[in-house]
Amino acid sequence: MTDKQTLRKTLLAARKLRHAQAPELAAQNLVEVTKSLEFATAQTIAAYLPFGGEIEVRPLMQFLASQGHALCLPFCESREAGMVFRHFAFGDALAADGVGMHAPLSGAPTCRPDVIFLPLLGFDRQGNRLGRGAGHYDKALFALRQSGPLATYGVGYDMQMVDKCPSEPHDQAIDGVVTEARLYLV
CA distance 84 to 2: 29
Give the number of other CB atoms < 10 A from CB of residue 79: 11
Cα–Cα separations (whole angstroms), residue 152 to 10, 116, 119, 137: 25, 5, 11, 11
The single-letter DSSP state of residue 161 is B
If you average pLDDT over residues 38-50, what whole number do you get?
Answer: 92
Q: Is the pLDDT of residue 2 over 70?
A: no
Q: Is the separation of the CB atoms in 93 and 105 below 8 Å?
A: yes
If you average pLDDT over residues 127-135, what whole number do you get?
Answer: 86
Q: Is the pLDDT of residue 1 over 70?
A: no
Q: Is the pLDDT of residue 148 over 70?
A: yes
Pick the CATH number of 3-8+24-32+41-109+129-185 from 3.40.50.410, 3.40.50.10420, 3.40.430.10, 3.40.50.620: 3.40.50.10420
Per-residue pLDDT, 49: 96
The single-letter DSSP state of residue 35 is T
Q: Tens digit of pLDDT for each residue in 67-88?
A: 999 999 999 988 888 899 999 9
